[in-house]
Structure 1
Amino acid sequence: MASGKEQGIQHEGAAGGWGSVSGMSQVLLREKPTPASMDTLLHQNKPHGFMCSSCAWGKPKKPHRFEFCENGAKSTLWELTSDRCTPAFFAEHTVTELLDWADFDLEMQGRLTEPMRYDAATDRYVACSWNEAFEGIGATLKTLDPKSVVFYASGKSALEQSYLYGLTARFYGNNNLPDSSNMCHETTSVALKKVIGSPVGTCVLEDFESCDAIFYFGQNPGSNSPRFLHPLQEAVKRGCRIVTFNPVREQGLVRFVNPQNPLQMLTGHATELSHLYFQVRPGGDIAAIMGICKHLFALDAAAGPERSRPIIDRTFIGLHTSEFADFAAKVQATDWVDIERESGLTRADLEAAADVYATSERIIAVYGMGLTQHVHGSQSLGMMVNLMLLGGHIGREGTGVCPVRGHSNVQGQRTVGISEKPELVPLDVLAKQFDFEPPRDKGMGTVEACEGIIAGTVSGFISLGGNFVRAVPDREVVEAAWTTQALTVYIATKLNRSHLVHGKASYLLPCLARSEEDVQAGGSQSVSMEDSFSHIHGSIGKRAPASEHLLSEVAIVAGIAKATLPPNPAWRWDEWTADYGLIRDLIEQTYPDQFKDYNARMFDAGGFYRGNPARERDWKTETGKARFTTPSVLSAVGVGDAPGRYHLITMRSNDQFNTTIYGHSDRLRGLEGSRAVLLMNPADIDRDGLHAGQVVSLVGDAGDAASRAVGGLTVTPFNLPSGCVGGYYPEMNPLMPLWYHDVASKTPAAKGVPVRILATTPAGHVAA
């Protein structure tokens, strides 16, 4: 349904502005960081400064004075809190007791200060020395089948420790290296690789300075990447038109008050961002893009020879693409009735979007998980690429496809070998480089790891950051099986729920935050990460560590490896820990084309570009060309419509980052105080005989025999398309079947989960 038709109660204020300043101030007052923390913010995302540990948005060559956003500031202040979670806290609380605490309350205990091991006799974590932790972990790992141990990595960890972590898993004997990409953006890696030969986006930050139009699918910059609002605002000011497709009318794509613009702050005058905003049905992007393409073919056929620029660039298509004829036939054969039904949009809506496309010379397609986190999300992404290929909008300045990543280094981890897929890693190079025979079999991704935990075939789980148990589908089932493992190891800065769901032996290892000074035997160290635009940035922490007992992630990974693995002269753990520049030399040796002169370039303004063949129209696909794909479905959801069935969209608030909850305000949606809400179209509320404020439950409706429910949800009228409901991630994860994922990538289909509403809460089920 187009944006002009109001459907319910929804906040219509602007993103940014004084609300953003207030949100940062609340965290500042609560966390009470040292005065030096403000210096960290002033150097955040700047050359020779500290790279934000929140999202992966690009860092410009010429940064603003305040090159941080609300969420980036919250993340930094959250890490630099004055609160401490010491052994005394764990002495006061059993692990079983803490399992009943809310996520927010756990993390509010502050920074972890000492290594801990789980003591089954007292059901508590107790302090231990680092040597005791490493020796205990190593001793257990030596007894386990290497194929049964999982090495999970959060996308927050920098390139240096990620590279060593991948080596450790392979030296140990497996490719079990799932990371947060498996749960978020793996569809990009799989689908883009198939159709353009590159697993990452083709844009660089400068492309937003010359594009004429941006087609924007399923991403919310206001909450998830607020610094993106600045280039969007500048693009609109120079005449670029933004066409948005999202079931939710997100204020970050409606209007923006720039906190760094004094006039806008004084007057409250906002920049209107989206030229057109269409509230597409969940999973309806395939149909919507099909309608746009259908009108583009009609416009192209009607255009006269006097037209200076073709609507459909057949020269580009002939030189650079394959399988166009099949796609064109599919467009011709698809009826408008089906397109309108599955997209939830009118023919006039989609023709208006096509008109913007037809009159634009340079177009960028931006997308997030709203496009890809569906059972047929890969087909959605393929359709988006089809749209870009029609006009030759890949491989020219001001054009391209732009996935917006979450975690600050989730793309970079894949680049340096965190992957369960051996074909994506230069194993022959590693074999010669480190004198060992790497495992060649496919490892476990997130879904396979969860399946193995449920089946009892996974016996050990090491987590480099993150909150894995809280983030996965079928959370209650996975959590119940988790304790059968022989070993769990958690490397973290703060306490979260995953740490309380432990194996028979369990260790909680506190690490330095990226903003803290990392001093090793070779002196003060720096790390690096890769942004969404394939640029590598160096980062230097300057703040005093939260505790004298903390180790860096590099030192922790090396400590576990030394205690577990046999000696090998090529495995120089102590030297690598003493000087991270040596690790970067190793990365350059493994990936010479992408990391040439790594140490010399890591602090280049704007980062150094590791390159992307697809940006140069060098297509590394099976056909040697960019590939048109022909969709087999018009809706990306895996379970279709039925009477009483809704499709649940899981959402994040502007007061959280992934599973980290900073507070209980969702200012940009006008929601405050509780996360136990069920957002519904007002007409659906009336039709189902419900009322605003009523407490209900959601139950799974995926068609299998499993019982899934989340209760205690307050019905809240909201501007959503009919037939879909909204709720918060990760609280809604128990409703998502583990098997309900993208067909090609196995990314959980969190943006279209089939559910039903129960007016009474089932006994034993309460909202998380």
Structure 2
Amino acid sequence: MSKQRSDEPEIEPFTGPAGGWGSVRSLAEVLPRERVAPDALRQLARQNKPDGFMCVSCAWPKPADHHPAEFCEEGAKATAWELTTLRTTPEFFREHTLTELRGWKDYDLEQHGRLTHPLRYDAESDRYVACSWEEAFDAIGASLRPLDPKSVVFYSSGRASLEASYLYALMARMYGNQNLPDSSNMCHESTSVGLKAAIGVPVGTTQLRDFEECDCILFFGQNVGSNAPRMLHDLRSARKRGVEILTFNPLKERGLERFTDPQNPIEMATGGETQISTQYHQVKAGGDIAAMMGIAKFLIEWDDAALSVGDPPVLDHAFIAQHTKDFESFADAVREANWADIERESGLARTALEETARVYARSEAVLGIYGMGLTQHVKGVENVRMLVNLLLMRGNIGKPGAGPTPVRGHSNVQGQRTVGITEKTELAPVEKLKELYGFDPPTEKGLDTIEACRGVIDGSVRAFVGLGGNFLRAAPDTDAMEAAWPRLDLSVQIATKLNRNHLFPGKVTYLLPCLGRIEEDVQASGPQAVSVEDSTSCIHGSRGKAKPASPHLLSEPRIVAEIAKRIAPANPRVDWDGWIADYAGIRDAIEATYPEMFRDFNARLFTPGGFWKGNKAAERIWQTPSGRAEFLAPGELNATGFADADGRFRLMTLRSNDQFNTTIYGYHDRFRGVKGTRDVLFINQADMAKAGVEEGQIVALESDAGDGTTRRREGLIVTPYDIPRGCLGAYYPEANVLLPVEHHAEQSHVPAAKSVPVRIRP
């Protein structure tokens, strides 16, 4: 392999903490870069506050007793990104064809600014041209009405409000399908499937107050410093009162190591830090089942020994007997597990796992926090089930300070599922919709993300409507998807900024610019509020007050309603215009559809800290077929779905702290010491020697999926990093080109982006 170096990128270790002056400097850089108006600072003061607006990035809870600045570095970037004064007008497209723009980087596309006018793709000139809203809605309706509803996909990202999401799901079902894939399919569907099967609810059982009552936290596969930085305040507070945080993550992430609170004057003045993790175990990518099996094995064998001599038990046998099913089958499988296999698959020493087990055993209330490091594997559901097993062993579900705590990404991705964005009939309020609106909703399962991708590639999907997001960039098999997209009869994208998905038109294509959540939304009855759900099932009101980026923008609910009026059968019980005139009417409809969760919805909309929609498992009511929480013995210890082989690596796709999902805010991954590039391959130094590559060398990765298709990611700079042997890291979404559509979680269909089989090539 030839050795090349780039003169522009800078890659050197970062020695500071998460937070601190680094966060302050980052904020100072982003505001002028976005050329925000002075009003942006006033809007930041309203972020995540009662009667303010809910952050448009992550879904971490909003406390009732808020900080003076209730936003993090990432949240401030998201707000500046939305409130930028930069604009992408029709004049921009007169200067640039879509073919030319496909050569631009993701950052440059979005950085150009907010979209200002509805746009239609003109194939003859290969440009977007301005059009009227009526033209767009009429053309979209004319394209959709003749199609078989089964061939149309209605995708949504996680940022749309509960109001927009409810209308969107209703529109799709009235049109005739449940093809409603969303961001959850990309990330946390393994949670929805795993928790639903194990404890009867598809979401976590904890609330923010549980951080004040726990005495131990098991933390798996989530990069808090980049993806949910406001959680660092809760982790810091827990550590200050002696809570042990036991972290399992392949990479040493700075936010899980140490944190300086930017809102603490003493820490900022003195450089004070809080150590976050009391134990940090760098588990191999896909090795979490094995690690948790080792913890369980030590606990069960310790418990066996204690009971045999009359000592106090280690496990909560009373809870297990009263509330669970299949414990003995699980325990037998754990006893039979071999320590050599556990150490090999986890990459961790037996002594390290025993040390974790001892801390867990002496703890009375334990939170199990996790992210996509558990869910995005072929055995992602088993990962989630194994964490639930650990919690059940000592009764750590359904009591204060304890329970599974999945950390969601987009700010309302969980809430969208709550109000009907789902492809699964069993999760949809089919009978209630029939009762309320007098039509027969479809009962055939719809397409999830993986099935939608298959349909785009094989041609069975004929139209795609996207409510936000950057589907082509977020989805697997980038090259195949981009090649197939132009064959669509219709592509509709509802968005605030230009992204790569918009550069691949269908035969008929419309780009519809919408209001952002921070902007004032005025309808016939006056300014409107919307609502979102956070990761802990609390519902929050959100009121935008910033001046809209353009007078030509429409709100997401209005856009959805206008399309619905053109494709859904006329129905006297469905008042699209009335709902748009006053969003309180949509909330009344949500309450009527889900009365148990949304009682007095409008009255409780701006409850400080949100109102909790309830959770049966948190009450130890198990809505499973057996009526109990169910243990599951994992079928194997390796979650990747493929065997290790000479020269084959486990690739993890990573986010930098200068991005949120597919949105790239800049080229400075401060915590990993990377500046000026995203073309980086993180690799263990010993693996570099074995593979015969050197620091700074430019290499490619090839997928080793074994399906006969060549997938290649070029131009990666070899960068030595503290990462487990046999594992590699590269940035998402650029590395998605290596991820086959069929490499996904077996039960949930989540793309297995945290363990992709690859080989290093010249």
- Using structure 2 for the length normalisation, give the TM-score: 0.98
The 5 Å alignment of 1:1-400 reads 10-303=13-306, 310-400=313-403
Partner of 2:695: 692
- From 679, 683, 693, the equivalent of 1:680 is 683
Tell me, yes or no, if structure 1 residue 523 matches structure 2 residue 509: no
Partner of 1:765: none
- From 505, 508, 511, the equivalent of 2:508 is 505
Partner of 1:5: none
Q: What SS class does the counterpart of residue 274 from structure 1 fall into? A: coil
- From 630, 634, 644, the equivalent of 2:633 is 630
Partner of 2:661: 658
Contact 1:698 1:710 in 2 (8 A): yes
Tell me by how many angstroms 1:566 deviates.
3.1
CA–CA distance in 2 between the matches of 1:120 and 1:474?
Answer: 25
CA–CA distance in 1 between the matches of 2:427 and 2:307?
Answer: 47
Partner of 2:421: 418
Structure 1 unmatched runs, 5+: 1-7, 761-768
CA–CA distance in 1 between the matches of 2:276 and 2:540?
Answer: 29
Contact 1:368 1:403 in 2 (8 A): yes
Q: Which stretches of structure 1, 4 residues or more, deviate above 6 A after TM superposition?
A: 304-309
Q: What SS class does the counterpart of residue 483 from structure 1 fall into? A: helix
Contact 1:511 1:553 in 2 (8 A): yes
Tell me by how many angstroms 1:564 deviates.
2.3
Return the letter of the residue paired with 1:123: D
Partner of 2:644: 641
CA–CA distance in 1 between the matches of 2:67 and 2:310?
Answer: 41
Return the letter of the residue paired with 2:434: A
Return the letter of the residue paired with 1:218: G
Tell me by how many angstroms 1:267 deviates.
1.2
CA–CA distance in 2 between the matches of 1:309 and 1:405?
Answer: 38
Partner of 1:551: 554
Partner of 2:8: none
Tell me by how many angstroms 1:306 deviates.
11
Contact 1:178 1:445 in 2 (8 A): yes
Q: What SS class does the counterpart of residue 247 from structure 2 fall into? A: strand
Partner of 2:741: 738
Q: What SS class does the counterpart of residue 226 from structure 1 fall into? A: coil
Tell me by how many angstroms 1:9 deviates.
7.4
Contact 1:9 1:718 in 2 (8 A): no
Tell me by how many angstroms 1:309 deviates.
6.9
Tell me by how many angstroms 1:307 deviates.
9.9
Return the letter of the residue paired with 2:570: P
Tell me by how many angstroms 1:308 deviates.
9.9
CA–CA distance in 2 between the matches of 1:93 and 1:259?
Answer: 42
Contact 1:85 1:112 in 2 (8 A): yes
The 5 Å alignment of 1:524-603 reads 524-603=527-606
Partner of 1:477: 480
Deviations 1:107-166 (A, max 9, x none): 011000000000111110000010111011111111211111100001100000000000
Contact 1:216 1:242 in 2 (8 A): yes
The 5 Å alignment of 1:411-490 reads 411-490=414-493
CA–CA distance in 2 between the matches of 1:144 and 1:306?
Answer: 71
Tell me by how many angstroms 1:331 deviates.
0.8
Partner of 1:3: none
Contact 1:10 1:718 in 2 (8 A): no
The 5 Å alignment of 1:697-712 reads 697-712=700-715
Q: 1:629 to 1:12 in 2, by over 3 A?
A: farther
The 5 Å alignment of 1:721-732 reads 721-732=724-735
CA–CA distance in 1 between the matches of 2:445 and 2:569?
Answer: 23
Tell me by how many angstroms 1:277 deviates.
0.1
Return the letter of the residue paired with 1:408: S
CA–CA distance in 1 between the matches of 2:572 and 2:399?
Answer: 48
CA–CA distance in 2 between the matches of 1:609 and 1:692?
Answer: 51
CA–CA distance in 1 between the matches of 2:470 and 2:714?
Answer: 22
Tell me by how many angstroms 1:301 deviates.
3.3
Q: 1:667 to 1:137 in 2, by over 3 A?
A: same
Partner of 1:491: 494
Return the letter of the residue paired with 2:376: Q
CA–CA distance in 2 between the matches of 1:631 and 1:562?
Answer: 48
CA–CA distance in 1 between the matches of 2:14 and 2:332?
Answer: 43
Deviations 1:537-559 (A, max 9, x none): 00000001000000000110011
Deviations 1:421-470 (A, max 9, x none): 11111111101211211111011110111101111111110000000001
Contact 1:646 1:754 in 2 (8 A): yes
Contact 2:110 2:498 in 1 (8 A): yes
Return the letter of the residue paired with 2:712: A
Contact 2:306 2:312 in 1 (8 A): no
Contact 2:301 2:335 in 1 (8 A): no
- Using structure 1 for the length normalisation, give the TM-score: 0.97
Tell me by how many angstroms 1:477 deviates.
0.2
Structure 2 unmatched runs, 5+: 1-10
Return the letter of the residue paired with 2:610: G
Return the letter of the residue paired with 1:596: R
CA–CA distance in 2 between the matches of 1:571 and 1:238?
Answer: 53
Return the letter of the residue paired with 1:371: L
Tell me by how many angstroms 1:266 deviates.
0.9
Partner of 2:5: none
Return the letter of the residue paired with 1:340: E
CA–CA distance in 2 between the matches of 1:486 and 1:170?
Answer: 20
Partner of 2:4: none
Contact 2:679 2:717 in 1 (8 A): yes
How many matched pairs? 752
Q: Comparing 500-509 with 563-572, which one deviates more in the overlay?
A: 563-572
CA–CA distance in 1 between the matches of 2:682 and 2:13?
Answer: 10
Partner of 2:7: none
Deviations 1:565-594 (A, max 9, x none): 332211211101000000000000000000
